[in-house]
Amino acid sequence: YNLPHYPEQSEDKYAGEYATVDERVKTYGMTVSTVDGLMGEIVQRIDDLGLRDDTIILFMSDNGHSCENYHIKPNHTSGLPEGWFYGAHGAGYTGPYQGTKGDFTEGGIRVPCVLSAPGRVTEGVVSDNVVCSLDWLPTMLSLCGMDCQPPKLFDGQDLSESIVPGTWEDQERYL
């Protein structure tokens, strides 16, 4: 998925949940609810097919929330009407962290990441470890039993040894 991202394209069935909130919160909230619902359908289908134990799910963001304020311009390739508001414009929340998308502060770069791989990674762990999106390719290859040792082909680090059951460790790492 590329959601929640521009243009925010949510399912109308979530409109009622956000009927009384500010428009920017409404559009962003509906989009996040759409992602949640669709991801739930994917996981349910994986379960229904009996593939859950053989499936790795990685869900993460690429940056902090946006404060951009965009409207669809004439002849936009999305097909949405001209003037359609499609920017969250500050509707996200970074908790105690300052900054937003484009900032090199905690609010701009600290993002959620959820990894699920039954029997392959420790379940229920919340970590403040520094992880870069580049780390996920070598980590996934390793979790799938594929060799990603030198010669080094990737900029990221294989994190699999620190997230397998019984071995989760907080790592001190500087980027």
**DSSP secondary structure of 25-90:** HHHHHHHHHHHHHHHHHHHHHHHHTT-GGG--EEEE-SSS------BPPTT-TT-PPTT-B---TT
Please name the amino acid found at residue 77: T
- C-alpha span between 39 and 33 (Å, rounded): 10
DSSP letter string, 11-22 = -GGGGGGGTTS-
Q: Which residues of the chain have pLDDT under 70?
A: 1, 86-90, 148-152, 164-175
pLDDT at 42: 95
pLDDT at 158: 85
* 96 cis-preceded (ω within 30 degrees of 0): no
pLDDT at 149: 67
pLDDT at 20: 95
pLDDT at 48: 98
pTM of the model: 0.78
pLDDT at 172: 62
pLDDT at 89: 65
Question: Helix, strand, or coil here: 144?
Answer: coil
pLDDT at 73: 84
